[in-house]
Amino acid sequence: MSSDIHARLDGLPGFPVLAGRRVRLRDPCPGDADAVFALFSHPEVMRYWSSAPMRSRMQAEGRIGEMQDGFARRESIDWLVAARDDDRAIGSCTLYRFDARHRRAEIGYALHPDQWRRGLAREAVSLALGWGFRSLGLHRIEADVDPRNEASRRLLLSLRFSSEGLLRQRFLIDGRAADSEIFGLLHHEWSPGPPRRR
């Protein structure tokens, strides 16, 4: 299938809001600053993240601006994961580093620890993957994970990603080196059905 990712991104009528059973993926707004700060300042969330935890609410405001700019420039789709019942932001999910020639993108995600182990990340990431494959025509979606991050590894494996290799000391975070395990999922491997049983 031939596809021009940039044309599809440029042709979006607005920010793509995706609705699941328990979460909704929506655009960020200035009113989300407290929730974004609560997420990206939490030591458990940031334990294996590729940057240091936020230290001030202003950083969250700046991050929301970057998320909005990324979409305006069609360089990233930075969703906030919102609870279906009250629309409060409980996490984030991002498709970024679009490579149109190879129909490839990367995915990243985080959920507030209050919401862990309820299947919400799986639901949110599934929505983003489905949209990336179907609406953008992506051929491959990648994720890079600190190999000590068992929750993220398990999430990706349950979504049929394959572990494809280890890049040593790829990140230096606050002076400490961290390895990076690369995961990949091809369009024909993607299925929104129940998790793969191991």
Q: What are phi and psi of 155, to 5 degrees?
A: -60, -50
> Alpha helix locations (H) across the chain?
5-10, 33-40, 43-46, 57-72, 120-134, 150-158
Query: CB-based contacts of 150: which residues, under 8 Å, 6+ apart?
Result: none
Q: Which helix (H) or strand (E) holds 23?
A: strand 23-26
Give whichever of 101 and 117 is closer to ligand COA, judged by the CB atom.
117
Q: Note whether 84 binds ligand COA by CB under 6 A.
A: no
Distances (CA, A) of 14 to 8, 18, 28, 58: 12, 12, 13, 26
Considering only residues 35, 110, 127, 141, which one is a binding residue for ligand COA as defined by CB under 6 A?
110
Give whichever of 119 and 137 is closer to ligand COA, judged by the CB atom.
119
- Shortest Å, Cβ 44 to ligand COA: 7
Rg (CA), the chain: 16
Give whichever of 101 and 198 is closer to ligand COA, judged by the CB atom.
198
Binding mask 43-82 for ligand COA (x = CB under 6 A): --x--x----------------------------------
Binding mask 156-175 for ligand COA (x = CB under 6 A): --x-----------------
Binding residues for ligand COA, rule: CB under 6 A, are 45, 48, 109-111, 116-122, 145, 149-152, 154-155, 158, 195
